[in-house]
Amino acid sequence: MEYVLETSSLCKNYGKNRILSNIDLKIPKGSIYGLVGKNGAGKTTLMRVVTGLQSPTSGTYTLSGVKNTDMKITKVRRRMGALVETPGLYKNLSAYDNLKLQYINLGLTSYDTIPELLELVSLKDTGKKHAGKFSLGMRQRLGVALAMCGNPDILVLDEPVNGLDPQGIIEMREMLLKINKERSTTILISSHILDELSRLATDYAFIDNGRILQTLSAEDLLRKTTKAARLIVSDTKAMCRVLDNTGFKYEVASDGSIDVFGDINITRMVHEADKEDVEILKVIENDETLEAYFMNLVGNGGEQS
Ligand code: ATP
């Protein structure tokens, strides 16, 4: 697998306080990588370090294979777009002129692609309206457009939906999915709400107290949180035959119990099992929500929002 960004034992101290401890992450090319953690977990600090706004105290990271200590990193960093904290907009300029300035900053000489970019972030009809008059959602989308100038390989977004209303959240989500799909841009995005990221992320890292607690794919997370029932049966093999014949999705655990996924009609399952002389001795329901999963992982020691 190809990785756009890799960190190795990355640490960051502020004074005597260790804020990030040995962060090892691999962000696959083309992924939407969700960084999930409570307030103060270290998400912004990590993003500030990998975008070059702060230097690591120890450890390294590589961008498209180039180490942060390599001279070439400045050039490679131009292939990274970032929106960390509030977007640096010129409030008395239109969306177009904000983007034009960013093009100039990046040394781009043709502005032909600005209308495309405005369309991508659904701001093409804003005309001469100044960014200072935009809604928060529009400002955030303009911030993403600024980060997208020069068509970067990776977009780093720190809590981009913070403070947005439900409609704003949906627009941001759809826009990011479009950017990822149409431009193959890898996205590293942070949030303190797992549910929000679950609608777009392909991979996750859970961070707490400056440490990565777990990394997993969207499929693995789904498997862990999908409605399921654990069955304890008299004959595991025979029960698997029953489940195969009836089309249930299941997984056999190492202790012989069986996790059956989806909405399960218990009466039907007992009936089918009975035909094969299998006794269902116990049914344990699991319906863990994403947030419950997250809270179990990070513990309930702190405020989540
Ligand atoms: P939030 O969602 O609240 O922004 P976060 O996960 O992004 O949280 P960070 O902003 O990275 O967390 O903060 C992690 C820790 O580092 C916090 O305890 C914070 O107080 C501390 N911290 C952040 N910036 C600085 C700084 N410049 N100097 C000292 N401590 C800092």
Asked if residue 39 has its Cβ within 6 Å of ligand 1, the reply is yes
Asked if residue 14 has its Cβ within 6 Å of ligand 1, the reply is yes
Asked if residue 19 has its Cβ within 6 Å of ligand 1, the reply is yes
Task: For residue 82, give both structure tokens.
Answer: 């970032």
Nearest CA to ligand 1 atom 20: 40
Going across the sheet that includes 249-252, the strands are 249-252, 258-261, 228-233, 280-286
* pTM for the whole structure: 0.82
* pLDDT bucket at 300, cuts 50 / 70 / 90: low
Query: Given ligand 1 and candidates 10, 39, 44, 54, which is best to mutate, with the most ligand atoms within 8 Å of its CB?
Result: 44
Cα 208 from Cα 211, distance rounded (Å): 5
- Report which ligand 1 atom has the smallest distance to the Cα of 41: 6
Nearest to 41 by CA among 214, 202, 223: 214
Nearest to 29 by CA among 206, 148, 188: 188
> Residue 17: enclosing H or E segment and its boundaries?
strand 17-28
Q: Looking at per-residue confidence, does 114 or 229 come out higher?
A: 114
- Please give the domain boundaries of the chain with CATH numbers for all domains: 3-215 (3.40.50.300), 227-286 (3.30.70.100)
Asked if residue 35 has its Cβ within 6 Å of ligand 1, the reply is no
Over residues 218-229, the mean pLDDT reads: 80
Q: For the chain, report the end-to-end CA distance as a whole number of angstroms.
A: 35
Asked if residue 23 has its Cβ within 6 Å of ligand 1, the reply is no
CA–CA distance from 26 to each of 62, 86, 172, 202, 204 (Å)? 10, 26, 25, 13, 11
Going across the sheet that includes 186-191, the strands are 80-83, 154-158, 186-191, 32-36, 203-208, 211-217
The predicted-structure confidence for 247-299, as pLDDT tens digits, reads as follows 888 889 889 999 888 777 888 888 899 999 999 999 887 766 777 788 888 87
